[in-house]
Amino acid sequence: MPAVESRVRNNTVMEFGGGAWGKKPRCDEAACPWREWCHAYQTGDFTAPDVPEQPSFEGNRRQFRGRIVRLLGERDEVVVSLRP
C-alpha cells in the first residue's frame, strides 16, 4: 500500500472492494491481490462479526435529528428558545 493519508487509503480499499466484489466476494474470479493475506478467503467465513449492531431508530437521536432536518426544510424561519 502506498504511504498516503489513512482516509485516502481507506477510500481506495472501499472503492476497490466495491468494484472487484460488489455485494458478494468473488476472490477467484477477481484475482484479488490481498487473497494471500485475507482471513475471510482462507477460512471461507465472509461474515463481519466485529460490526456493532445499530440501535433501533425509534427514540434514537437519529430520529430527532431527522425531525429537525425535516422541520428546517419545511420552513423559511425557525425560532429557537432556550429554556432554563
Residues 1-42: tens digit of each pLDDT: 566 778 888 888 788 777 766 666 777 766 677 788 888 888
What pLDDT score was predicted for residue 46? 76
Query: Are 27 and 38 spatial neighbours (Cβ–Cβ below 8 Å)?
Result: yes
Q: What is the mean pLDDT of residues 36-49?
A: 79
Please state, rounded to an integer, the average pLDDT across all residues of the chain. Answer: 78
Residue 21 neighbours by CB under 8 Å, 6+ apart:
27, 30, 32
What pLDDT score was predicted for residue 21? 67
What pLDDT score was predicted for residue 41? 82
Q: How many C-alpha atoms does 63 have within 13 Å on its Cβ side? A: 6
CA 32 to chain centre: 21
Residue predicted with more confidence, 62 or 46:
62
Domain boundaries, the chain: 1-47
d(CA 34, CA 15): 14
What percent of the chain shows pLDDT beyond 90? 2
d(CA 77, CA 30): 53
